[in-house]
């Protein structure tokens, strides 16, 4: 009895343990399975997560507001240093006031000149070297530069602002007639500097400062004792001139009237200064309110009283640069009072007298953020070098804004439309992602890459589809079963061949081989089908005694020596044919006759190599589809008197066509995403050229080439992720469609 309860109890507990184990296993399996599936899906979401910020708008938020003391005069210009700690205000009484950028606390004030004259004009030279020019009411000019010395006493950052005078502390005499300077522009390089100004009686005056000895004009130590020689340059006079702007290279001078009539003067040769163009930048009735350079000193930003901003830059027409309208930006409310450009990107910020602040990107032609401050006349704006702090000034009132603007250079039109880049003669699709200096305008057009991807896939499919489908048809429908058991695995092994090996063979063996035997390769296209048909015809004519030695369904084996012979034939006569038909140098002939350039690593090579990589994929799926067409359909057709060929074309292929289509789609998906072959077998230049003798760069190869150098979280980095996302979605959609077609086909067969 006791025994029995024992067993019952142990049985009971064993059952419990067993059921517990069962549940545990079920739970583990479910958790593991779902976990892996989620992990796989993570790829998609992670790519999205990285790409998303590209399309986010910028944000602008006010962090503080304060007012500066009015004893030094009104604001002419503001600037901020790298750390966003200290800003400088230049005033119309000739002071430079350094203050804390967050709360306006004064740090240091410098009087810039001792003169009874007042400031009559002011202009920033270029932002990068922080140089500004003051034009005075007595025809003098003062050139000032501010800089920040950073030191780390006690491991704490200390920033010491200072003012230096690159052209000497004494005001320079720009106009001998001592008239007030209405506008002034100053530019300098290592050995010379130019000052151009407009006097209040409408004359254009220019002074050239030339270095006499080493150590002038630049670098802090020589400040005021700099030795230079000043000479006056005479310029053509322009009526009603109001704005003057010299480019940083001191080669071109832009002079504009209040109506926007702009004269371009070539000052690259000071002996021979000439007017090269005169053009109106505005419509009638509009007035020019702002004219300045975009970063890099090539593009002009033109702002008018109606709130419109346009970008212009010189474009070469017949080797003469012509100032050309490039693009305009979203109109603002009120006149444009100031445009402040970013120092490291082609972006800028405009402030209008109606109180609108808008952040733009020039290349992307995009306004990334906008803020409206009602009833405020905003006169000046300053952006920090990292473009994350903005100061706006309305009289003595300063507002500090925090800007979150990571990827302004991104827009749909940048990726997929033609963009007119600086120094190009027309809008173009260009991929050129990186360069060493800040003035560089990154060119992120996906078009050349997408074009290259599709071009490579197209040539690969051109080579692969006929071979794979014809092979599949023969293997599935005509081939003797014994041979099939050998042929199928052989071709499928090819699928496992690493693409790096195919790429290596294509780049280092096939490419030079094809270059050498180009004529032979093309003659193959002709010789091969004709030779095979001739052999087949001859075989047909053989007496039955010999013909029946090879059973039906072994044609492919019989043809192997024939194909080898034909290939050998056309390649061995290649050189002779080149001599006879193309004067001994086909590349030269192509260039002279057809105007085609020949790259050794070209689309032909990629087509063949990638074709070889996709043949097994297409072959295997198409063969399955054809082979599984129900046998009673073909028997019925044959029984009704159709020939095998008729049965094939009218019954079998029609029934299997969705399967064949899905095979092609999967092959296409593979060709689009293939990396190593394209990387190794082409020159990887992002050109858009359909020629079979030119290379390309594909999306995938581009990722492989540029990803290791892309800075994390930069626009370039995210754009490469976007390229990956495009590839991912493209192949995913293609493969899913193909898979659905196949599943439908399978259920159709089973119902037949």
Partner 1 sequence: MIKKWFKSGDPFIWLNASAVSISIIVVVGLLMVIAVKGLSHFWPAQIIQAELVNETGRTTLVGEIVDTSEVPVQRLIDSGIDIKTDKEVIERSLIKVGNRDVLGSDFRWVIFPENTSIIYPEELTVIERREWGNFYGYLLGISKNGQPLKTNKPLWQQLEQLIDEANQLHDKIRDIEKHEIGGINYELEQLRLKKRRLELDGVTDKSAYKLIESEKRALNDLYNQQKNALVKLYAEATTYTVSAKIMSGQTVTIPLAKIVRAYQPNRLNVFQKISIYFSRLAEFVFDEPREANTEGGIFPAIFGTVLMVILMAILVTPCGVITAIYLREYAKQGFVTRLIRIAVNNLAGVPSIVYGIFGLGFFIYFIGSEIDQIFYPEALPAPTFGTPGLLWSSLTLAILTVPVVIVATEEGLSRIPKALREGSLALGATKAETLWRIIIPMATPAMMTGMILAIARAAGEVAPLMLVGVVKLAPSLPLDGSLPFLHLERKFMHLGFHIYDVGFQSPNVEAARPLVYATSFLLVLVIVILNLSAIWIRNHLREKYRHLDS
Give the whole-angstrom CA distance, residue 573 versus residue 571.
6
**In this structure, what DSSP letter does residue 419 have?**
B
Nearest approach in angstroms of CB 501 to partner 1 is: 5
Give the whole-angstrom CA distance, residue 277 versus residue 476.
73
Nearer to partner 1, 144 or 469 (CB): 469
DSSP per-residue codes, 336-355: EEEEEE-SSSSEEEEEETTS
Nearer to partner 1, 26 or 690 (CB): 26
Nearer to partner 1, 81 or 578 (CB): 578
Distance of CA 28 to the CA centre of its chain: 46
Nearest approach in angstroms of CB 567 to partner 1 is: 8
Give the whole-angstrom CA distance, residue 338 versus residue 345.
18
Number of CB atoms found within 10 A of residue 518's CB: 19
Give the whole-angstrom CA distance, residue 735 versus residue 388.
44
What b/e string do you get for 480-509 counting C-beta neighbours within 10 Å, with b at 16 or more? eeebbeebbeebeebeeeebeebbbbbbee
β-pairing, 261-266 vs 252-257, is antiparallel
Dihedral of alpha carbons 304, 306, 308, 310, sign: negative
**In this structure, what DSSP letter does residue 541 have?**
H
Give the whole-angstrom CA distance, residue 525 versus residue 598.
20
Q: How many residues does the chain have?
A: 752
Dihedral of alpha carbons 476, 479, 482, 487, sign: negative
Nearest approach in angstroms of CB 191 to partner 1 is: 39
What are 49-53's contacts with CB under 8 Å, separation 24+? 50/717, 50/718, 50/721, 51/718, 51/721, 51/722, 51/725, 53/406, 53/407, 53/718
Give the whole-angstrom CA distance, residue 554 versus residue 547.
12
Helices (H) and strands (E) in the chain, counts: 18, 31
Nearer to partner 1, 383 or 701 (CB): 701
Nearer to partner 1, 83 or 735 (CB): 735
Nearest approach in angstroms of CB 7 to partner 1 is: 16
Nearer to partner 1, 225 or 736 (CB): 736
Q: Is residue 220 a contact partner of residue 147, using CB atoms and an 8 Å limit? A: yes
Nearer to partner 1, 284 or 496 (CB): 496
Facing residues of 367 across strands?
A: 360
Nearest approach in angstroms of CB 375 to partner 1 is: 47
Give the whole-angstrom CA distance, residue 89 versus residue 77.
6
Nearest approach in angstroms of CB 235 to partner 1 is: 51
Nearer to partner 1, 53 or 202 (CB): 53
Q: Is residue 454 a contact partner of residue 438, using CB atoms and an 8 Å limit? A: no
Give the whole-angstrom CA distance, residue 751 versus residue 747.
6
Nearest approach in angstroms of CB 371 to partner 1 is: 33
Q: Residue 218: name the closest of 206, 228, 208, 231 by CA.
A: 228
Q: Residue 307: name the closest of 391, 367, 397 by CA.
A: 367
Give the whole-angstrom CA distance, residue 209 versus residue 226.
11
Nearer to partner 1, 357 or 621 (CB): 621
Nearest approach in angstroms of CB 533 to partner 1 is: 5
Nearer to partner 1, 432 or 575 (CB): 575
Nearer to partner 1, 18 or 283 (CB): 18
Nearest approach in angstroms of CB 659 to partner 1 is: 15
User: Three-class SS of residue 297?
Assistant: coil
Nearest approach in angstroms of CB 385 to partner 1 is: 23
Nearer to partner 1, 19 or 438 (CB): 19
Give the whole-angstrom CA distance, residue 82 versus residue 389.
10
Nearest approach in angstroms of CB 668 to partner 1 is: 10
Nearest approach in angstroms of CB 223 to partner 1 is: 38
Nearer to partner 1, 422 or 578 (CB): 578
Nearest approach in angstroms of CB 432 to partner 1 is: 20
């Amino acid at each position: 009895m006791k025994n029995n309860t024992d067993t019952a109890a142990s049985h009971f507990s064993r059952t419990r343990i067993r059921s517990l184990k069962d549940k545990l296993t079920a739970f583990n399996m479910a958790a593991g399975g779902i976990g892996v599936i989620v992990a796989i899906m993570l790829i998609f979401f992670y790519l999205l997560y990285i790409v998303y910020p590209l399309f986010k708008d910028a944000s602008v938020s006010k962090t503080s507001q304060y007012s500066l003391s009015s004893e030094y005069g009104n604001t002419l210009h503001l600037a901020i240093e790298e750390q966003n700690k200290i800003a400088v205000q230049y005033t119309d009484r000739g002071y430079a006031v350094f203050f804390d950028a967050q709360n306006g606390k004064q740090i240091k004030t410098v009087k810039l000149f001792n003169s009874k004259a007042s400031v009559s004009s002011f202009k920033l030279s270029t932002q990068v070297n922080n140089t500004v020019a003051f034009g005075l009411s007595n025809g003098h000019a003062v050139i000032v530069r501010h800089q920040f010395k950073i030191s780390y006493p006690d491991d704490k950052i200390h920033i010491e602002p200072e003012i230096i005078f690159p052209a000497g502390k004494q005001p320079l005499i720009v106009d001998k007639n001592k008239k007030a300077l209405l506008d002034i522009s100053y530019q300098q390089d290592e050995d010379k500097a130019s000052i151009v100004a407009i006097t209040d009686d409408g004359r254009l005056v220019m002074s050239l400062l030339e270095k006499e000895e080493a150590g002038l004009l630049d670098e802090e130590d020589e400040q005021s004792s700099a030795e230079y020689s000043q000479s006056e340059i005479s310029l053509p006079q322009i009526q009603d001139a109001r704005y003057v702007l010299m480019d940083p290279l001191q080669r071109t001078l832009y002079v504009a009237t209040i109506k926007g009539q702009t004269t371009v003067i070539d000052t690259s040769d000071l002996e021979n200064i000439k007017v090269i163009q005169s053009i109106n930048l505005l419509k009638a009735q509009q007035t020019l309110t702002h004219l300045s350079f975009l970063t890099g000193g090539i593009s002009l930003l033109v702002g008018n009283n109606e709130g419109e901003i346009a970008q212009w830059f010189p474009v070469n027409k017949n080797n003469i640069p012509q100032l050309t309208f490039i693009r305009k930006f979203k109109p603002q409310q009120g006149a444009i009072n100031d445009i402040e450009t970013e120092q490291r990107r082609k972006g800028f910020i405009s402030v209008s007298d109606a109180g609108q602040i808008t952040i733009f990107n020039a290349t992307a032609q995009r306004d990334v953020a906008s803020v409206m401050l009602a009833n405020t006349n905003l006169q000046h704006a300053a952006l920090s070098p990292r473009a994350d702090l903005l100061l706006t000034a309305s009289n003595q009132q300063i507002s500090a804004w925090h800007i979150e603007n990571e990827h302004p250079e991104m827009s749909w039109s940048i990726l997929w439309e033609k963009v007119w880049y600086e120094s190009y003669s027309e809008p173009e699709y260009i991929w050129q992602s990186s360069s060493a200096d800040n003035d560089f305008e990154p060119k992120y057009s996906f078009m050349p890459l997408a074009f290259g991807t599709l071009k490579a896939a197209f040539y690969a499919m051109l080579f692969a589809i006929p071979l794979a489908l014809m092979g599949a048809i023969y293997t599935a429908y005509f081939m003797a079963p014994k041979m099939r058991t050998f042929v199928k695995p052989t071709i499928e092994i090819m699928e496992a061949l690493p693409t790096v090996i195919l790429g290596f063979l294509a780049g280092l063996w096939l490419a030079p081989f094809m270059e050498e035997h180009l004529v032979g390769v093309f003659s193959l296209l002709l010789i091969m089908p004709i030779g095979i048909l001739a052999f087949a015809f001859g075989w047909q004519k053989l007496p039955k005694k010999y013909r029946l030695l090879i059973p039906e369904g072994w044609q492919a084996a019989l043809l192997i020596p024939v194909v080898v012979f034909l290939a050998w034939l056309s390649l061995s006569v290649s050189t002779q044919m080149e001599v006879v038909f193309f004067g001994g140098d086909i590349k030269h002939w192509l260039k002279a006759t057809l105007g085609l350039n020949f790259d050794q690593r070209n689309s032909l090579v990629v087509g063949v190599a990638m074709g070889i990589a996709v043949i097994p994929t297409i072959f295997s799926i198409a063969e399955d589809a054809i082979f599984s067409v129900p046998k009673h359909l073909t028997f019925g057709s044959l029984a009704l008197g159709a020939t095998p060929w008729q049965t094939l074309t009218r019954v079998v292929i029609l029934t299997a066509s969705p399967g064949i289509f899905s095979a092609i789609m999967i092959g296409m998906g593979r060709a689009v995403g293939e990396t190593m072959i394209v990387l190794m077998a082409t020159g990887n230049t992002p050109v858009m050229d359909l020629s079979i003798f030119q290379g390309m760069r594909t999306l995938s190869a581009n990722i492989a080439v540029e990803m290791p150098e892309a800075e994390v979280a930069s626009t370039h980095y995210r754009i490469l992720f976007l390229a990956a996302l495009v590839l991912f979605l493209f192949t995913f959609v293609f493969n899913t469609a193909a898979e659905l077609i196949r599943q439908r086909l399978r259920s159709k067969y089973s119902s037949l």
